[in-house]
Amino acid sequence: MNNETTYLCIGCPLGCRLEVEEDAAGAIVEVRGFACKRGKEYAIQEHTAPQRTVATTVAVRNSSWARLPVRSSAPVPKDAVVEICRRLHAVETTAPVQMGQVIVANVLGTGADMIATRDMPLA
């Protein structure tokens, strides 16, 4: 018996309802419901190895603001997101910081860097 999983595509503004059918061994048999190539690719990726972009904050010293917004430079495995956020909670950087500056390189060995998403001048 085949198993079917549904996803809502975020690959483009259409928001297609995707259906991924897999056989008893876990192999994808068919992907349905996509209106563009990105939808099919998204469904396969989400079904086999879901990834997310992480956006959070880290502490910053010597600035008018206490927190610096950061994001991952690339999507990371979904199951690593909570641990990445937990580790970033302990990170502290010092102003000045420039937008795009790497705050944590290769976070948790994922290959993605955590980068500043705004300038943070000295206080």
pLDDT in tens, 48-57: 999 999 999 9
**Alpha-helix residue ranges (DSSP H) falling in 66-109:** 81-88
CA dist., res. 9 & res. 14, Å (int): 8
| Whole-Å CA distances, 122 to 19, 38, 75 | 51, 43, 30
Give residue limits of the domains in the chain.
Answer: 3-48, 55-116
Domain 3-48 has CATH 2.30.30: no
Fold match, 3-48 / 55-116: no
Q: Is the pLDDT of residue 118 over 90?
A: yes
Q: Is the pLDDT of residue 2 over 90?
A: no
CA dist., res. 113 & res. 107, Å (int): 6
Structure tokens belonging to residue 67: 């927190």
